[in-house]
A and B are shown apart, each in its own frame.
Chain A
Amino acid sequence: MKTLKIALAGNPNSGKTTIFNALTGARQRVGNYAGVTVEKKEGRCQWQDWDIQVFDLPGIYSLTAYSLDEVVARDFLLEETPDVIVNVLDSTNLERNLYLTLQFMDLGIPLVGALNVADQAQRQGIEIDAGVLHQGLGIPLVKTSGAKAQGLEDLLAQAVQAFQAQARPPKIPFSAAVEAWLEPLEKTLQTLEPSRPRWLAVKLLEKDAGAWEKIAALPGAPGVKDLLNQAWASLEKTLGRDPEILISEERYGFLHGLCAQALRRRQTGPSTTQKVDAVVLNPILGLPIFFLVLWGIFQLTFTLGAFPQEWLEGFFAWSQNSLKTLIPPGLVQSLVVDGIIGGVGGVLSFVPLVVILFTFLSVLEDTGYMSRSAFLMDKFLHIFGLHGQSFLPMMLGFGCSVPAMMAARSLKSPRDRIITVLVIPFMNCGAKLPIHVLFAAVFFPENPGIMVMVIYLTGIFLAFGSAWIFRKTVLRGQDTPFVMELPPYRLPTLGKVLLHVGEKSWMYLRKAGTVILAASVLVWAATTFPQAPEGTPPDKAMETTLAGMTGKVLEPAFAPMGFDWKVAVATLTGFAAKEVVVSTLGVLYSVDGDATEENESLKQALKADPQFSPLTAFILMLFMLILAPCIAAQATIRSEIGGRWLGFFWVYSLALAWGLGVGIYQVGKLFGIGG
């Protein structure tokens, strides 16, 4: 079998990922977390007797090193040299999309263009003459539709052909004045670094720092620098322009001419996107609509999710009871019934909620509404020293902090990234949701939804407040610019949403099967051994165990918040994964309670515990919201922004959680609320 390595590259929102999914189907590997394509996505497909490896690169506007996405894509193209670049082009926006194509052409790697969403362009009154485009650019072009899986066979055929012919894209010349400098530059470079001299020459002329680094250490570098200095001076003098801007201008000049020939625009009324924007970005309606959308998502998640959640809870209670009759009483029964099913089952019953929430977030992202929310929120975020583009990662934080922090890579400035990563844990993640839902249901039975929303809002408030504090203290400095595309609205395809949600849910399930299973067993062991002597009353039995003893040691720290050692134990186990807090409580209370009694549920046990009142329940929810996130999220903080910031975050969140917890409890007691 013959093999081929293809890189899918193009602008953001060009439909790259949809083509990638259509090509590779289920045969794809996503680094660790998907959703926002910063990680390298890799998949395979077959075409005739070819085994084709496909890489989905992050969407970029240019081959500079402006954002991390661009660096990732650029490094991939330069260092892992794919056999063919398939450049996915948004047909509704060709002029800007082709700007990147011209840069790909300079690389000298065989290139095929996919004129994607051509049907959409047609509906917008844009008629594309692919023949004229092909003539002008000299690279093969194929009309495709990722959503309808059209033109993909042809695309692969062209890619294979381009590879076999080793077809180097032709050179699109700049103006004579620029070429007069590029040619000698290219010749000199060829003697130094024979691969991709054209691309290097253009980039060097553009004063690209990354390109210079590539050759700075080579022996001929000083000669190149001399030549460059002459070129810059001469071009600025004769054309009166900074060379880097000049290159962009000439490229757009060429494309403007080409598109004038190849595209025919019929006058059409306002597009659907414009009509929708007129409403959702309306100065008066915009923000209320945005908050309504957020509110609706949370309401729907909880009302829709409640049904399957009840079924699952019922199922696990039933299996616990049946297993009790099957397995004789003793350690094994206790391990299986209380440890494993009690722990993992408690977490699994929240899967429907998580799936529904992820579905909504995925739809928001795919439709293009997320970037509108950044537009609406930028002014507000800016007040707190955040960036409009911080908003999307923060929103993703409602799902899971880990992909959210990774999404923060799209932020250009390291400072913005650090702040965003540091505040994401305050966005209440899906794994913390079970804790809040449980306590809200038990202690605020009239309005559990409102209570959960209060926690979410508190988290948002803390995130902004913390960002403001960080910006004023540890992360001072200049603002970074806000320049962001508002892509046309697209209906999310069912397949893409399902794939996305499937990935996320699978991640959650895998966590339940591994980390949470292990943690549940450990927690069970820690709460069982060393066993209390025979005849100890059940409510005292726990105190002699390892967990009980550790909890007792920590109790003095928890007492000022109104908690006893059980909460201390649950907090500790929560570091493994936040869902474990619920399962730990399940284990703690089922051991505590009378094992022979019929189905004493966790909710009733919590209600019966004198340490919990609405006040302490609220403090517990708050404490769990703020306190250091799970191991996975901590590892991500470390890998994204470094161990020093992780340490900083630890101290900060611990102080904040404890300070607020103690403060609220003491003030609450003073006023005689709960306690």
Chain B
Amino acid sequence: MTISQVKPGQEFFVTQVLLQRELGKRLADMGFTRGARGRVVRRGLWGGPLQIQILGYDLAIRRTEAQGIQVEALVS
């Protein structure tokens, strides 16, 4: 599944980032590497960005980009 399918409040770990080179590298720089654990904090209104917590900090990411981040949701 992709990170945009993770429910708010649910934890995940990253399996793969399938995005064009530059953005993929940026997300890797920001901590989206294989095995990294994080949590979807909330989703923006009307299909707005996702707020994601990873490595203990929060970041916002648009859903189109979020669809390129493959994750596995953790059962809470």
Chain A interface (Cβ < 8 Å from any Cβ of B): 61-62, 64, 66, 92-93, 95-96, 99, 206-207, 242, 244-245, 248-249, 252-253, 273, 277, 281, 283, 286-287, 371, 374-376, 378-379, 382, 388, 479, 481-488
Contacts and interface: CB of A to CB of B under 8 A. Distances in A.
A378 B47 CA distance: 10
Nearest to B37: A256
9 contacts: A99-B29, A245-B33, A253-B33, A375-B44, A375-B49, A376-B48, A378-B62, A482-B49, A485-B58
Interface string B38-64: 000110111111010001111111101
Given A245-B24, A249-B33, A483 B45 contact: no
A374 B21 CA distance: 25
Contact of A483 (B23, B47, B55, B56): B23
B25 interface: yes
Contacts of A244: 21, 24-25, 28
A228 to B, nearest CB: 16
The 5 closest A-B pairs by CB, nearest first: A248-B28, A379-B48, A482-B62, A62-B29, A486-B58
Contacts of B62: 378, 382, 388, 481-483
A160 B27 CA distance: 35
Nearest to B43: A283
A388 B49 contact: yes
B55 A95 contact: yes
B60 A482 contact: yes
Contact of B28 (A245, A482, A487): A245
Contacts of B60: 371, 374-375, 378, 388, 482-486
A487 B53 CA distance: 11
A93 B48 contact: no
B56 A486 contact: no
B1 interface: no
B17 to A, nearest CB: 7
Contacts of A248: 25, 28-29, 33
Contacts of B33: 245, 248-249, 252-253
A65 to B, nearest CB: 10
Contact of A283 (B21, B23, B45, B49): B45
A253 B48 CA distance: 31
Contacts of A286: 45
Contacts of A61: 26, 29-30
A96 B30 contact: yes
B59 A486 contact: yes
Nearest to B24: A245
A481 B23 contact: yes
Nearest to B20: A481
Contact of A484 (B31, B42, B55, B59): B59
Contacts of B36: 252
A245 B17 contact: yes
Given A95-B55, A277-B41, A378-B60, 19 more contacts: A66-B22, A66-B25, A96-B30, A245-B25, A248-B25, A249-B28, A273-B58, A277-B58, A286-B45, A376-B44, A376-B45, A378-B48, A388-B49, A482-B49, A483-B27, A484-B60, A485-B59, A485-B60, A487-B58
A486 B36 CA distance: 19
B51 A281 contact: yes
A96 B31 contact: yes
Contact of A378 (B23, B27, B42, B49): B49
Contacts of A249: 28, 33-34
Chain A CB within 10 Å, residue with most, of B44, B57, B59, B64: B57
Contact of B45 (A379, A382, A487): A379
A479 B64 contact: yes
Contact of B25 (A64, A252, A378, A485): A64
A557 to B, nearest CB: 44
B26 to A, nearest CB: 6
Nearest to A99: B29
B65 interface: yes
Contacts of A62: 26, 29
A483 B61 contact: yes
A93 B56 CA distance: 6
Contacts of B44: 283, 375-376, 378-379
Contacts of B24: 242, 244-245
Contacts of B51: 277, 281, 375, 486
B8 to A, nearest CB: 10
B76 to A, nearest CB: 16
B45 to A, nearest CB: 5
Contacts of A99: 29, 31
Given A93-B56, A482-B61, A379 B47 contact: yes
Contacts of B27: 483
Contacts of B26: 61-62, 64, 66, 481, 483
A379 B28 contact: no
A283 B49 CA distance: 12
Nearest to B49: A378
A269 to B, nearest CB: 15
A388 B48 CA distance: 10
Contacts of B25: 64, 66, 206, 244-245, 248
A67 B21 CA distance: 15
Contacts of B56: 92-93, 95-96
B45 A287 contact: yes
B42 A281 contact: yes
Contacts of B58: 273, 277, 485-488
Nearest to B19: A481
Contact of B57 (A66, A245, A485): A485
Nearest to A387: B62
Contacts of B61: 481-484
Contacts of B41: 277
B30 A483 contact: yes
A121 B52 CA distance: 20
Contact of A93 (B23, B29, B57): B57
A125 to B, nearest CB: 11
B22 to A, nearest CB: 7
A369 to B, nearest CB: 13
A374 B28 CA distance: 22
A18 to B, nearest CB: 18
Contacts of B42: 277, 281, 283
Contacts of A242: 24
A499 to B, nearest CB: 26
